[in-house]
Structure 1
């Protein structure tokens, strides 16, 4: 299952609106026979990819899948049919499928005599590549991660608005990896005007990645002529509203599941105020500025009892910076 989980991570950001799933097939003797991950929409699911590699060695074997095999006919046939046709004797999956159309595959397989068990590495899978997709199925809207980099005193830029570079090279490389796994990167018109933000995925040498997420610019103001987000490197959508719910509605209609919020403090404050941030990834640099814009703008808090409370998921070093990930505390919204 750990191998299947790692495989699912390699396709995160390429499968939406389908989930990024990994699968491994062991033959009847317990030897690895095949492995695969979900292909882009319209392509084979993870189980089919793994079965193709396994071939006849799948008969009598065991399938390990990060998500309960689907039992409905969508763009592709049910994975339960593929597993049964291949003669799989046992299925182990991590997370039950909550989708109202696709769920129930475990019962279909059991009814056909397959030994099925769920829950293997469920927490790791649910908090990993499937986090955004599971959230979108349960809530009907994309999962939103707010990423920012700030100094120890919470500043994202100096008094003169210079901000390059607050975080170090390791953190910046991590941010590009986070972008690469997202379906869409969102920023406000203010950020575009102030920084000419490109919102692209690049490697350490500055070369553009082959796959780029959708670039989303939010705000009623115009995008300056010649802005880098208007180039042909990736698609850009201008959502002319300041309402976070309206932004997410537009992205939902486009099949977006995983959103990375990279706008400035005003846009971040609007999303936090609306309780539409589901995870925070903060890079805190060992520097002090004492002045300059803060990471978060007005968030609807006037007294300490109204503070938005979060639960820290992890704290780790990122080069010389500290990376903190957090999710809403119980009762604070989110998933």
Structure 2
């Protein structure tokens, strides 16, 4: 249960200030609400330094002494490395600080399971921390339970401190864990009139160098990139994440092809880059569940129109990245095929999250707004498309 966020200890003295509305009840005496919020913001900044890709969440931890001073901090650097809490405790000890009696401010509920490392909840208990403040409760059924374990050991735990910021940081990971399928980002690179290729099929390059560099940086942050077999046949993509000078980023996402047609032996997808996974199916739900079972948390879909249309029609797109160039083609392939929309009220609508200028191009990032009662992760078959089109 989340502790009440409606009460706080009134500050005293010349530094008195109203309690911060977003801070939870801190329970026992300790750092005041302003200090806790500042510490959580720092923990979130630390967490953001961890890798966005991979099966594990990005987590940051700050340790405060009884006076509210930061004595150590840490963040999770990726699979197989110490978790944020363990890293902060190690940093404290390395600096000659006994963590006993400190307050741990953590972006995600400490885990309670044995993986490559021991449970973070146990590490905090053994260290003798006095209290723990958490932004987001862990929905992962494998790892959850840390707050309960801490409370059972007599350590107060308050959750919900800057929860919205914590949810934003962990957005793809949280959705994937909660639904059992990846967070799906659909990339579209189009002319002003919504074309992805000219009438003769040429498409390189509609957008400019800055937009393409940004798109490659996004590739380097996701777990997998997907295209349909039609795109493989027409464009022969490599689906690698490349730097501005053309070299490969250290992290290369899994390359996923959806559809029944085979990937040719000489395809660029079989060259340098991430592993190749061919999902010989037209069943989107099965494909997404398969990727979820492989711990793919964030899937970037780059086309073509048939796959994009099927995902949109199945309400399986969580986020749109629309790169729009100031180019008019007038004819050619559209970014999206018929969605079955016959009136404006049936339009697939998203909420604008951000708009960025990239050279002469614009990037619109829009996100789905889940209707009340919607079933998470709903997806269907690639209905209406022939094998030759996908």
Give the structure 1 partner of residue 305 of structure 2. 265
Kindly indicate whether the alpha-carbon contact (under 8 Å) linking 2:181 and 2:293 is maintained by their aligned counterparts in 1: no
Q: CA deviation at 1:295?
A: 1.2
Does residue 102 of structure 1 match 2:140? no
Classify the secondary structure of the residue corresponding to 1:217.
strand
**Structural RMSD (CA):** 2.2
In the alignment, which of 80, 90, 96 is matched to residue 52 of structure 1? 90
Give the structure 2 partner of residue 223 of structure 1. 263
Kindly indicate whether the alpha-carbon contact (under 8 Å) linking 2:43 and 2:105 is maintained by their aligned counterparts in 1: yes
Larger Rg: 2
**1:15–1:306 Cα change, 3 Å:** same
Q: CA deviation at 1:255?
A: 1.6
Give the structure 1 partner of residue 49 of structure 2. 10
Pick which of 149-158 and 66-75 moved more.
Answer: 66-75
Query: In structure 2, how many angstroms separate the alpha carbons of the residues matched to 1:285 and 1:333?
Result: 35
* 1:138-182 deviation line (CA, Å, top 9, x unaligned): 212111111111122111122222222222222222212211111
Normalised to the residue count of structure 1, the TM-score between the two structures is 0.90
Give the structure 2 partner of residue 66 of structure 1. 107
Matches of residues 176-325 of structure 1 in structure 2 within 5 Å? Answer: 176-325=216-365
Query: In structure 2, how many angstroms separate the alpha carbons of the residues matched to 1:330 and 1:226?
Result: 42
Classify the secondary structure of the residue corresponding to 1:69.
coil
Kindly indicate whether the alpha-carbon contact (under 8 Å) linking 2:54 and 2:223 is maintained by their aligned counterparts in 1: no
Kindly indicate whether the alpha-carbon contact (under 8 Å) linking 1:277 and 1:334 is maintained by their aligned counterparts in 2: no
Kindly indicate whether the alpha-carbon contact (under 8 Å) linking 2:238 and 2:271 is maintained by their aligned counterparts in 1: no
Gaps of 5+ in 1: none
Q: CA deviation at 1:334?
A: 5.3
Query: In structure 2, how many angstroms separate the alpha carbons of the residues matched to 1:202 and 1:296?
Result: 26
Pick which of 2-11 and 263-272 moved more.
Answer: 2-11
Give the structure 2 partner of residue 24 of structure 1. 62
Query: In structure 1, how many angstroms separate the alpha carbons of the residues matched to 2:283 and 2:141?
Result: 29
Classify the secondary structure of the residue corresponding to 1:60.
coil
Query: In structure 2, how many angstroms separate the alpha carbons of the residues matched to 1:172 and 1:276?
Result: 25
Give the structure 2 partner of residue 112 of structure 1. 153
Does residue 122 of structure 1 match 2:178? no
Aligned residues: 333
Normalised to the residue count of structure 2, the TM-score between the two structures is 0.78
Classify the secondary structure of the residue corresponding to 2:177.
helix
Kindly indicate whether the alpha-carbon contact (under 8 Å) linking 2:51 and 2:77 is maintained by their aligned counterparts in 1: no
Classify the secondary structure of the residue corresponding to 1:71.
coil
Kindly indicate whether the alpha-carbon contact (under 8 Å) linking 1:14 and 1:39 is maintained by their aligned counterparts in 2: no
**1:241–1:275 Cα change, 3 Å:** same
Q: CA deviation at 1:201?
A: 1.0
Query: In structure 2, how many angstroms separate the alpha carbons of the residues matched to 1:54 and 1:222?
Result: 54
**1:308–1:51 Cα change, 3 Å:** same
Classify the secondary structure of the residue corresponding to 2:333.
coil
Kindly indicate whether the alpha-carbon contact (under 8 Å) linking 2:73 and 2:91 is maintained by their aligned counterparts in 1: yes
Pick which of 117-126 and 131-140 moved more.
Answer: 117-126
Query: In structure 1, how many angstroms separate the alpha carbons of the residues matched to 2:337 and 2:253?
Result: 26
